[in-house]
Amino acid sequence: MSVDGWNTLLVLGGIRSGKSEFAESLVADAPMVRYVATAPEGDPADTEWATRLAAHRARRPGTWTTEETAADPGRLAEVIAAAGPNETLLVDDLGGWVTVLLDPARQPADDPATIAELAAAVRASSARLVLVSPEVGLSLVPTTPLGRAFTDALGAANRAIADACDAVVLVVAGQPAWLKPAAPRQPAVPSQAGPGQAGAPVATAAEWAEPPPAVAAGLTIEPGMELPMPDDYVGPQAVDRLATLDIPGAGLGVLERVVGFAAATQGTATPAPWTSVRVLLLHGDHAGGASAGATPDESARRARQARAGQGALARLAAECGASLQVVEAPASAAIEDEPALTAEQVESALRYGWRLAEQAADAGVQLLVLAACGAGAEAAAAAVLVATTGAEAPMVLGRVLTEQGQIDDAAWMVRCATVRDALHRTRRGPRDAKDVLAELGGGDIAVATGVLLGATARRIPVLLDGPVGVAAGLVSRDLAGQARHWCLLPDHGGQPAVRHAADVLGLAPLVDLRLGLGEGATSLATLPLLRSMLSLAATLPVHPSLRDTEYDEDEFAEPEPAGPGPSRPTPTEPEFAEPEPAGPGPSRPTTVEPDEAVTVPESPGRRAD
């Protein structure tokens, strides 16, 4: 499921309704788009049709690729079925596809079976897929047999594809009307709660049904951006306030930094625990030696697992009540031979990451967690660290482990050589932030950089705990120095790249768990602890020695009943009664109840009258 709450979308509309332009706008920020053209070329003498086709081609960005399927209607289902989870496909349109399908030269044919095959491919697609189709159900019944056959076949195709897609939108006069909003998926994650307790919230891939707003027009991501800083006054003020609370012992220890960080990012000396948390799992593989030792297709399996609400990351997110989104980043080329991305792909990936942060802010998210699962991401992050900090590759590259947990030194050496060769290839090139992303970083680090910049712009703190996150932190620092102040590092996990980058960024880890559950898992594992500290800091009273009076009589008083009922009896003795004297001395006066006979004991030397 994509960030918009849908993975497959059908865009319907009449002639000149603006359906194609709307569909193109939905994928404009995608790093890579494959445009699947279904219409035949037509009669060369038909200049009006040729003009329409030329207008469609002129609107496509130069970074898009085009694939023609007009020669074989069955080819469209094959293209969709073969598309990977990191691809974005725009099919325009199904009307042209049905035209080819009904071509008399191809008859007789089993057209309903071909439509069913296409619907099955759409339903099973793991790619981000947008299909455009004319809406013919509102027009008059054609007067010709061929016209009726076309409307019948296209109507059947639209119904089958609409049923297979996550969402359907109808464009009328350029205005989209969502007919089938994408509902949040609820994967079946077994509850980890004990007997008699409610189950943990399920991590989902989307939180909202309506399409999110587009990224701000005219956004330019360039070095020297002026973004907001956390409040550097209330942060220390919140830490100083902890010394006044009724806390036994030495207090919160190193976790005082969590309170200061939350106070500065929330702008209040009494910060509240983060209740709305979103995990962004970036999936983008790196080709070449960067992924040496990685199990083929393992990263794609992890991404599918997370989409289904399974695996360690999804279960931890469910325990924390956090939503989980799998974000497909562009695949990166072998950095030892060529740039990982083109300059256009870097710009698109940065804007896409910024858009992810904006959508999180619009949805009320208070905290982001960056996670990653791409093959070769560790080596790409190491290359970024070497280029930006001057570190040596062997110093920041962690050991490579096999599926059986054994150390693979041969794969580690290949990765070291890959980083060395990539740095040698780019030794005379510029080291600007975007150049580093294009030459070395790749798609996942570029998207993560955009997320950090967008989160900074919208004042959302971000938890980092892995190589992709800290590499993005180093790059974002060169674009906007304020970004690193919105990042918190719960743990370096024993990873040399994270430890080194944290030193450069000034991020001190809070704990030392050394979990090996993947990037993002440590942040989720520590999140309940961080929330508990914020809750204590916000709710504990001031220590009695620092109050104006020695005791606050209301502090330990039983609360009055909230609803109607018998009134609470008034005590006849003070709440804090003076104890009886232990030794000889004057007796304590006895409380006399009305109409009660009291016998006064006789004291020595006194006779009772």
The two tokens of residue 403 are: 């599926």
Give pLDDT, residue 429: 87
Residues of the chain above pLDDT 90, percent:
43
What does the CA dihedral 77, 81, 87, 93 come to, rounded to 10 degrees? 10
d(CA 274, CA 450): 22
**Mean pLDDT in residue range 484-501:** 91
The SS3 assignment for 141 reads coil
Please determine, for residue 571, whether its predicted confidence score (pLDDT) is greater than 70: no
User: pLDDT higher for 39 or 315?
Assistant: 315
Closest CA to 332 of 84, 28, 31, 82: 31
Q: How many residues does the chain have?
A: 609
User: Which residues fall within 8 angstroms of residue 229, CB to CB, at 6 or more apart?
Assistant: 482, 485
Confidence of residue 545 (pLDDT cuts 50, 70, 90): confident
Please, are residues 293 and 412 in contact by the beta-carbon 8 Å criterion? yes
- Among 22-36, 133-147, 185-199, 281-295, name the one with the lowest average pLDDT: 185-199
Give pLDDT, residue 448: 96
Q: Is 247 exposed, middle or buried (0-12, 13-18, 19+ CB in 10 A)?
A: middle
d(CA 325, CA 315): 13
Give pLDDT, residue 282: 95
User: pLDDT higher for 568 or 247?
Assistant: 247
The SS3 assignment for 375 reads coil
Closest CA to 357 of 476, 203, 437: 476
Give pLDDT, residue 582: 52
- Among 213-222, 371-380, 506-515, name the one with the lowest average pLDDT: 213-222
- Among 62-66, 206-210, 291-295, name the one with the lowest average pLDDT: 206-210
Q: How many CB atoms lie within 10 A of CB 546?
A: 11
**Mean pLDDT in residue range 341-351:** 92
Please determine, for residue 384, whether its predicted confidence score (pLDDT) is greater than 90: yes
The two tokens of residue 177 are: 């009307």
DSSP 438: I
d(CA 425, CA 431): 13
In the sheet with 462-463, reading across from the earlier edge strand, the strands are: 323-328, 277-283, 367-372, 462-463, 487-488
What Rg value do the Cα atoms of the chain yield, rounded? Answer: 33
The per-residue pLDDT for range 414-468, each reduced to its tens digit, is 999 999 999 999 998 888 999 999 999 999 999 999 999 999 999 999 999 999 9
Closest CA to 469 of 381, 379, 380: 381
The SS3 assignment for 418 reads helix
Give pLDDT, residue 356: 93
Please, are residues 295 and 287 in contact by the beta-carbon 8 Å criterion? no
Give pLDDT, residue 578: 52
Please determine, for residue 182, whether its predicted confidence score (pLDDT) is greater than 70: no
Angle (nearest 5°) at CA 46 between 44 and 47 = 95
Give pLDDT, residue 579: 52
Confidence of residue 548 (pLDDT cuts 50, 70, 90): low
The SS3 assignment for 10 reads strand
d(CA 609, CA 598): 14
Give pLDDT, residue 560: 52
Residue found under tokens 């740039």: 339
The CA distances from residue 512 to 442, 478, 491, in Å, are 29, 28, 6
**Mean pLDDT in residue range 192-205:** 36
Q: How many CB atoms lie within 10 A of CB 212?
A: 17
Confidence of residue 205 (pLDDT cuts 50, 70, 90): very low
Asked about 519 being catalytic, the answer comes back as yes
Please determine, for residue 589, whether its predicted confidence score (pLDDT) is greater than 60: no
The SS3 assignment for 525 reads helix
d(CA 148, CA 75): 25
Q: How many CB atoms lie within 10 A of CB 159?
A: 13
d(CA 358, CA 368): 11
Please determine, for residue 381, whether its predicted confidence score (pLDDT) is greater than 90: yes
d(CA 83, CA 90): 12
**Mean pLDDT in residue range 561-567:** 48
pTM of the model: 0.61
Please determine, for residue 594, whether its predicted confidence score (pLDDT) is greater than 50: no
Please determine, for residue 95, whether its predicted confidence score (pLDDT) is greater than 50: yes
Confidence of residue 609 (pLDDT cuts 50, 70, 90): very low
Q: How many CB atoms lie within 10 A of CB 346?
A: 29
The per-residue pLDDT for range 574-588, each reduced to its tens digit, is 444 555 555 554 444
The two tokens of residue 331 are: 């695949």
Closest CA to 511 of 525, 500, 501, 497: 525
Please determine, for residue 595, whether its predicted confidence score (pLDDT) is greater than 60: no
DSSP 188: -
Residue found under tokens 């932030």: 433
Please determine, for residue 558, whether its predicted confidence score (pLDDT) is greater than 60: no
Q: How many helices (H) and strands (E) does the chain have?
A: 19, 12
d(CA 209, CA 218): 26
The two tokens of residue 51 are: 């003009």
d(CA 185, CA 355): 22
The two tokens of residue 402 are: 């096999």
- Among 50-59, 73-82, 275-284, 504-513, name the one with the lowest average pLDDT: 50-59
User: Which residues fall within 8 angstroms of residue 440, CB to CB, at 6 or more apart?
Assistant: 335, 340, 380, 383, 384, 387, 422, 423, 426
- Among 128-137, 269-278, 546-555, name the one with the lowest average pLDDT: 546-555
Q: How many CB atoms lie within 10 A of CB 321?
A: 16
HSE (side-chain half, CA atoms, 13 Å) at 28: 14
Helix H, strand E, coil C: the string for 212-239 is CCCCCCCCCCCCCCCCCCCCCCHHHHHH
Confidence of residue 4 (pLDDT cuts 50, 70, 90): low
Q: What does pLDDT average to over the chain?
A: 81
Q: Which of 210, 256, 519, 573 is catalytic?
A: 519
**Mean pLDDT in residue range 111-140:** 88
d(CA 411, CA 17): 55
Cis peptide before 93 (omega within 30 of 0): yes
